[in-house]
Structure 1
Amino acid sequence: MIEFAKLLDDLSADQRIFLTESSAEVVVAQLDADLAQTALDHARRLGWNVRVENAAAEEVADDLNPAFQPFRFTVTKPLAQGRVRLLTLAGFAQWLSETPSGLVQVARLETPFETGLFRVGNWTDEQAFEPTQRAKSPRTLVRETQQRRDVPDDIRAWLVPDETQPDWDDPVFCVWATRATRACLMAIATEVNAGSDFSFRGNAQLTIGEPEAGYKPPMRQFWQLQRTVSWIYENPSETETRFRLINYELGRLGRSSNVAITDVLEYMGVALESAKLAFQYSLAKVSSDTAKSLSDLRKSLSEETSRLSEMVRQVISAVSGVVFVGIGLIAARFSTSTPKLALIIMGFVLCCYVFFVIRSGKNHIAQQRNMRTVWRKRLYGYISDNDYKAMILDPAGKSEDQFHSAALWGGFVTGGIALAILAAVCL
């Protein structure tokens, strides 16, 4: 089978045949009689179903007369459950040109490898595969000057995990690496002019020509490109910032003349380190602003807690005053000739005083709760719900509980004094 696949790939590379491959069939056209007989013998040794047609589109069996060339034959491959099986490198390249995902088996593969979107194995590979979490689409960042979109919509198909160690000389991996190089360059460019060049713009602009068909960079440069693209797209919320930083660094090369793709890939490692330093600096600045914001939040909470403590003291003071004055009114009822109506009015005023103190505290608590709800997402959205509950809601809730307890007991005591004054007046 490997020999058959190599034969077809070699003939296709030399443009001696026209080859297309789907998940079920391999179709080969423009074969002369000798090549058709060789290919037919390979397919029959594998036990595969083969249909051969001559130039007149008539099906033939074993009589491959050169007078009726070129021949066309269709090979039906054995299928694999849940996997796409491909015989040739040309078929694998065609599959990559579509929307590659899932599990694919390529006959000539020597060392299996995985991307974020699919796994490539040989025809005996039975390993399962789970795609990685979807990243931000490069199409939302890269500008294209043509109607047909060439920039990949999903970058996961062109990135391999850090722990992956594929065989650099594996012909199947070479096909993928060639396409991955172009896709990754497009995914980090500011602008793509299809069929002509890629542009990287920072404080200066760098423009390079589009890589030639079949271009595969040196191994070290390829992995530098992979690390750079992985860093840009690893966190969707930070992708846009990292994308701009990389373009700023690559744009510096635009000040030089005659910059080639190899120069850009060689500089990629330096650009990545510089972009990481700039990104860390921006995070440090954000952290400083966040620390100031948290300090202001703590100060605001402290002031609110102090205000609630003060209101608790006001309730206690008001209730204490009611107790002392109420006892005085009861004593005045039996020791003086104070009119009953005056005692009732004074008792009512005392109860109203305590009521308004408690009511004022409750209004303040409701107002603070509403403010916390309104400003929660606007000012402190970066704080998680659990942290916000631990830092703000729980301490504020404890202070509110203290006030509610004081108000409840104060209300009971005030009500008891009011009833005592009323009973003394009625006796």
Structure 2
Amino acid sequence: MTASSLRTLASALDSLVAGNSFVHETSEAIIVSELSATAAREVSQGFVEVAWQNVVFDGANTETELDDIADDFGPYRVTAQKPQLGPDEILLLTASGFGDWLAGAEPAKIVVVAGLDAAIATEETQFVPLEASSPGVAGAIALRSPRTLVREYGALRVVPQSIGRWLLLDSETWRGSDQRFRQWAAYAIRAILLSLPNEIDQNTGAYVFRGPPRLGLPVPAADADVVSDLGKQGFGDLQAAARWVYELEREAETRHTLFATELARTGGNQADTIRCIRESVGFALEGARIAYQMSLAKVSADNLKALADLRKAVTDETGKITDATRQVVAAVASALAIGIGLIAARVTASAPALLIMAVMAIVCAYIFVVIYSGHKFAALQRELRDIWRNQIYRFLSEEDYAKLVVKPGQDAERILNVVSWVGGIAVTVTLVVAITVALTPTKNTVTSQAQSGRPAQPQSSSVGSKPAPATTPGAAP
């Protein structure tokens, strides 16, 4: 099966279509009907020359051998099966088959087209001539579906699901003398025209650009030569406009709105759609680009203001957490000073144990309240950061938000945690020591207890004793 034989067969089939015969071509088979006996022989012989299996049916839908073909049993139908190609690759011989495939939605990465002079490289499909080897398929960029941007009110969807097969990799590609290229370009122009307006009028099918002012462009006539009417410059501008609108999936909605508005403003009220596109699409694209850059500048200014507000909010938050840390440090220092003072008072001055334990309990409760309030404030700020992230600062990436907001807050909380743990442990140790000292008798207390329990010295008593005899002056001893 050579390329020249296939070209000859394709030319013969196209000439039959120009007559009274019909050709229906799919990716798997070709069916040629309403053939005379002579034409049926020629078509069947052409399929044999390219080694394609084919079957001839007569007017009664009965399979017929070549030798039995006669005009009395016509008209004839010839069905041929195409050979299997590579994955996502199909072969199209006839102009009618190529047009049917372009009008349909059957996907393919590579389409081998008989009669095509040079390759047509689009974002979704590579159209290659018979003589060319199959090119490598590059990864297609993610394109927004036009159906998500263009409103349709009719029951029949006319806006293309994908615009990939209509976007040239090089918008300057133009081959006006290549009939297959012109056939593809005609379908591309109509598909792109359906992808650029704001909506499709449900009554007339016109392309509506809301503006202001509102612009409605009628659908070009089915037999109009849109390729010649638009010309090379107009086709290139239309391709550039479609690529600018759809090349960035996330920005497609904004760009689509800006371009539709600019085309409505620059297009006026021209009744001829192709003339309006040829004369206005380039200026509309330039105006849309300027408006887009201005909107980006405004967004950038808003983002800078938002970042400045974010910086102030983060600084205030970390400052408040730092203040909470200072409060914990001051409270811990005071508690340690009070505890050491109570221990010293107990040891040196025999302060009451109940008083020491009561004061230490109050101090420890105060420390607990200070630490608890500091951590609750940090938790509240953490929740506020989540709210900011989802409602105000969604334009920041996860990495940038973590670097600008999350990390400073986590660093401040980490210091608060360390101070709280160290201070809490120190106060707890002081409490244990103070209670132990309070419950242990001091030296002065032991001495007092010993003195109070010593037995009294014995004293003379008159009970049971005889009184000394009284002496009188002058009496003899």
Give your verdict on TM over 0.5.
Answer: yes
**Within-5 A mapping of 1:194-213:** 197-213=206-222
Residue number among 15, 29, 50 corresponding to 1:10 in the alignment: 15
Q: Deviations over 1:182-214 (max 9, x none)?
A: 000001122334875322221012222322335
CA distance in 2, matches of 1:168, 1:90: 19
Could you say which residue in structure 1 is the equivalent of 2:111?
A: 104
Shift of 1:62: 4.3
Residue number among 88, 96, 100 corresponding to 1:94 in the alignment: 100
- Shift in alpha-carbon separation, 1:226–1:326, aligned structure 2, 3 A: same
* Residue 409 (structure 1) aligned with residue 409 (structure 2): no
Contact 2:92 2:112 in 1 (8 A): yes
Contact 1:205 1:254 in 2 (8 A): no
Shift of 1:113: 2.6
* Residue 226 (structure 1) aligned with residue 230 (structure 2): no
- Shift in alpha-carbon separation, 1:348–1:61, aligned structure 2, 3 A: same
Could you say which residue in structure 1 is the equivalent of 2:26?
A: 22
Residue number among 218, 221, 226 corresponding to 1:215 in the alignment: 226
Contact 2:219 2:273 in 1 (8 A): no
* Residue 46 (structure 1) aligned with residue 53 (structure 2): no
TM-score by length of 1: 0.90
CA RMSD between the two structures: 2.5
Could you say which residue in structure 1 is the equivalent of 2:458?
A: none
- Shift in alpha-carbon separation, 1:406–1:56, aligned structure 2, 3 A: closer
Name the SS of the counterpart of 1:85 in structure 2. Answer: strand
Could you say which residue in structure 1 is the equivalent of 2:122?
A: 115
Shift of 1:37: 4.7
Could you say which residue in structure 1 is the equivalent of 2:377?
A: 364
* Residue 72 (structure 1) aligned with residue 77 (structure 2): yes
**Within-5 A mapping of 1:14-413:** 14-57=18-61, 59-62=64-67, 65-66=70-71, 69-82=74-87, 83-102=89-108, 103-123=110-130, 125-130=133-138, 132-162=140-170, 165=173, 167-193=175-201, 197-213=206-222, 214-216=225-227, 217-253=230-266, 255-336=268-349, 338-413=351-426
Shift of 1:219: 1.9
Unaligned stretches of 5+ residues in structure 2: 1-5, 442-477
TM-score by length of 2: 0.82
Letter in 1 for 2:32: V
- Shift in alpha-carbon separation, 1:197–1:418, aligned structure 2, 3 A: closer
Name the SS of the counterpart of 2:233 in structure 1. Answer: helix
Shift of 1:352: 1.9
Q: Deviations over 1:221-266 (max 9, x none)?
A: 1121111111112223322221111111111245344444123233
Shift of 1:55: 4.2
CA distance in 2, matches of 1:131, 1:193: 35
Letter in 2 for 1:4: L
CA distance in 2, matches of 1:395, 1:139: 44
CA distance in 2, matches of 1:145, 1:421: 84
CA distance in 2, matches of 1:28, 1:111: 27
Matched residue pairs, number?
Answer: 426
CA distance in 1, matches of 2:232, 2:413: 65
Greater C-alpha radius of gyration: 2
CA distance in 2, matches of 1:56, 1:356: 100
Contact 1:55 1:71 in 2 (8 A): yes
CA distance in 2, matches of 1:396, 1:306: 10
Name the SS of the counterpart of 2:200 in structure 1. Answer: strand
Name the SS of the counterpart of 1:26 in structure 2. Answer: strand
Shift of 1:162: 3.1
Q: Deviations over 1:117-153 (max 9, x none)?
A: 2222234633342552443221222233432111101
Poorly superposed stretches of 4+, deviation over 6 Å: none
CA distance in 2, matches of 1:65, 1:351: 114
Name the SS of the counterpart of 1:52 in structure 2. Answer: strand
CA distance in 2, matches of 1:325, 1:49: 105
